[in-house]
């Protein structure tokens, strides 16, 4: 009995020892796995911190990719890595570190000296591009799924080279993506320890590529926001300069009252008005509309205003002023741009307005009919073509001066098509007829109130429709 008892005790101790050793190995293995996981988390955290710093420093997109490549090599112990950036339907090598093996067979001319080989390989990779779906790089770019090739020497998908330095032992590729958008492919070759990439290393490469995609996306958004802020600042500055060019005060005359208003559809627009004194108590009045909107239109407007004032002081005829302006502006404008304009001279002594029109909306003259005694607001007919649209000889053959009486109670209204072409909910335009009715209704008001009344009428008519074009009004009233 004693012998059996001792035998059982020994067997129990042996079994217990085996379970103890097995449990201890499992604990050690678990600790090692936790340590490796912690290391992977720390690597990813450091990488993310590095990318955030790079975005904060405002580095270029290629420099961000360079950090991705460098981070992949440091974290995996690989000998080389490359990023292929997506542009349209192609993936092109943009950054490389180490002697990364090209993904196409090398030409005979590739047999160069060791000292220049790395530079040569980098040039080859930068010139390589793959269609989406072409080769390993293109396959990852198409599927959005990473590829791990533990033994690349026996995989027909891997391009091998005669040069031993470019031999591929193990290969890993991961998509650089943001959500469903593929931004590029990260490719890593040959661990430095001579072994193969394992699942953990592949997981790390995939994680780095994933966070790189997020960083690249955020950098793109940040750059777009910076560009937008710069553009907004430029537009604000251009708008301020434009408003400085438009007169806020007008020449004083004992029997004439002038007011103008300007509402651009955007921050900067292409409408122009100007009012200035001339010799012998005359007043020069101009209105113009540049085709297009934005900064190009505003620049053309400024050039137009400067030249118009110059010629207005040299010539007494409005048509001559516009003729000379057409010659100058034809050289300044692009072929797809033109300017419509009206230039009028108000003679406060003779009570006459002389008008020349270059393709602009017909001005309105409000006056009392001497025969019927009724107040009428009607268009002033005048021929002319837009500035910069035709050669000087054709422009000069059409344009002419038109003289009309301008007596007590008369109103001259110049305007741009943003007034008459404003539409309501049904898509119908405000029209010149409605504008004439407003002038008749508000004829007893001061010109500043007349302009405000016109703007209010256009706004009520348009309702909730957004203003689609610049609105400019110049009203002149004979007191």
CA–CA separation, 436 vs 454, rounded Å?
10
If you average pLDDT over residues 40-58, what whole number do you get?
51
Say what angle helices 61-76 and 199-245 make with each other, to 10 degrees. Answer: 160
Please give the pLDDT value at position 5.
52
248 alpha carbon, distance to own chain's centre = 33
User: Which residues have C-beta within 8 Å of that of residue 377, sequence separation ≥ 6?
Assistant: 364, 365, 366, 411, 413, 435, 436, 437, 439, 440, 443
Structural domains for the chain: 31-223 (3.30.450.40), 237-478 (3.60.40.10)
Please give the pLDDT value at position 343.
97
Task: Evaluate whether 366 touches 345 at the Cβ level (below 8 Å).
Answer: no
- Min mean pLDDT across 106-110, 193-197, 288-292 is at 106-110
From residue 360, alpha-carbon distances to 12, 138, 175, 414, 416 in Å are: 110, 57, 58, 9, 8
Task: Evaluate whether 266 touches 287 at the Cβ level (below 8 Å).
Answer: no
Looking at per-residue confidence, does 295 or 46 come out higher? Answer: 295
Looking at per-residue confidence, does 29 or 329 come out higher? Answer: 329
CA–CA separation, 351 vs 257, rounded Å?
13
If you average pLDDT over residues 204-213, what whole number do you get?
87
Tokens read off for 423: 């539409």
If you average pLDDT over residues 376-405, what whole number do you get?
91
CA–CA separation, 191 vs 78, rounded Å?
4
- Min mean pLDDT across 196-210, 219-233, 306-320 is at 219-233
SS3 of 333-368: the string is: CCCCCCEEEEEEEEECCCCEEEEEEEECCCCEEEEE
Indicate if the alpha-carbon torsion angle 380, 383, 388, 393 is positive or negative.
Answer: negative
If you average pLDDT over residues 388-401, what whole number do you get?
91
Whether residue 115 has pLDDT greater than 80: no
List the end-to-end C-alpha distance of the chain, in Å, as a whole number: 139
Q: Find which of 81-85, 219-223, 248-252 is predicted with most confidence, using mean pLDDT.
A: 81-85
Whether residue 65 has pLDDT greater than 80: yes
Please give the pLDDT value at position 330.
81
Looking at per-residue confidence, does 210 or 267 come out higher? Answer: 210
pLDDT band for position 112 (cuts 50, 70, 90) = low
Condensed to tens digits (0 to 9), the pLDDT of residues 442-469 reads: 999 999 999 999 999 999 999 888 888 8
Edge-to-edge order in the sheet of strand 90-97: 129-131, 90-97, 78-87, 181-191, 171-178, 147-149
Residue with tokens 């301008």: 406
Q: What is the mean pLDDT of the chain?
A: 83
pLDDT band for position 26 (cuts 50, 70, 90) = low
Looking at per-residue confidence, does 231 or 473 come out higher? Answer: 473
Condensed to tens digits (0 to 9), the pLDDT of residues 299-330 reads: 788 888 889 999 999 999 999 999 999 998 88
Query: E-strand spans in 250-349?
Result: 256-263, 271-277, 283-290, 339-347
| Structure letter (DSSP) for residue 152 | G
Task: Evaluate whether 383 touches 357 at the Cβ level (below 8 Å).
Answer: yes
CB atoms within 10 A of CB 262: 19
Condensed to tens digits (0 to 9), the pLDDT of residues 66-82 reads: 888 888 888 888 999 99
From residue 191, alpha-carbon distances to 81, 187, 201, 295, 373 in Å are: 11, 12, 10, 55, 100
């Amino acid at each position: 009995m004693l012998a059996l008892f001792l035998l059982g005790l020994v067997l129990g101790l042996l079994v217990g020892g085996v379970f103890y050793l097995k449990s201890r190995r499992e604990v050690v293995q678990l600790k090692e796995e936790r340590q490796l996981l912690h290391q992977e988390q720390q690597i990813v955290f450091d990488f993310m911190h590095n990318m955030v710093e790079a975005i904060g420093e405002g580095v270029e997109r290629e420099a961000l990719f360079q950090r991705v490549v460098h981070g992949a090599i440091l974290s995996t112990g690989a000998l080389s890595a490359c990023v292929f950036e997506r542009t349209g339907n192609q993936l092109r090598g943009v950054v490389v570190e180490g002697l990364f093996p090209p993904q196409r067979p090398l030409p005979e001319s590739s047999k160069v000296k060791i000292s220049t080989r790395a530079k040569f390989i980098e040039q080859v990779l930068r010139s390589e591009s793959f269609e989406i779906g072409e080769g390993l790089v293109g396959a990852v770019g198409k599927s959005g799924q990473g590829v791990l090739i533990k033994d690349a020497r026996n995989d027909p998908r891997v391009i091998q080279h005669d040069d031993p330095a470019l031999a591929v032992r193990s290969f890993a590729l991961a998509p650089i993506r943001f959500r469903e958008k593929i931004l590029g492919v990260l490719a890593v070759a040959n661990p430095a320890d001579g072994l193969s990439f394992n699942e953990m290393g592949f997981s790390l490469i995939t994680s780095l590529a994933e966070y790189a995609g997020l960083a690249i996306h955020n950098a793109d958004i940040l750059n777009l926001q910076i560009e937008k802020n710069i553009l907004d600042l430029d537009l604000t500055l251009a708008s301020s300069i434009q408003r400085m060019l438009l007169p806020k005060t007008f020449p004083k005359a004992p029997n004439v009252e002038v007011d103008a208003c300007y509402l651009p559809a955007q921050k900067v627009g292409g409408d122009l008005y100007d009012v200035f004194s001339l010799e012998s108590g005359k007043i020069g009045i101009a209105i113009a509309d540049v085709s297009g909107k934005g900064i190009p239109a505003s620049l053309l407007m400024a050039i137009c205003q400067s030249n118009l004032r110059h010629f207005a002081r040299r010539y007494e005829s409005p048509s001559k002023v516009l003729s000379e302006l057409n010659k100058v502006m034809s050289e300044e404008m692009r072929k797809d741009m033109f300017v419509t304009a009206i230039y009028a001279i108000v003679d406060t002594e003779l009570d006459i307005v002389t008008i020349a029109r270059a393709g602009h909306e017909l001005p309105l003259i409000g006056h009392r009919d001497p025969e019927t005694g009724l107040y009428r607001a009607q268009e002033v007919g005048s021929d002319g073509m837009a500035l910069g649209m035709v050669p000087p000889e054709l422009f000069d053959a059409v344009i002419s001066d038109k003289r009309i009486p301008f007596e007590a109670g008369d109103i001259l209204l110049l305007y741009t098509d943003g007034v008459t072409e404003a539409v309501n909910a049904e898509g119908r335009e405000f029209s010149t007829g409605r504008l004439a009715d407003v002038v008749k209704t508000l004829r007893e008001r001061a010109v500043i109130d007349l302009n405000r009344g016109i703007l209010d009428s256009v706004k009520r008519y348009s309702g909730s429709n957004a203003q689609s074009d610049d609105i400019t009004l110049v009203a002149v009233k004979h007191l």
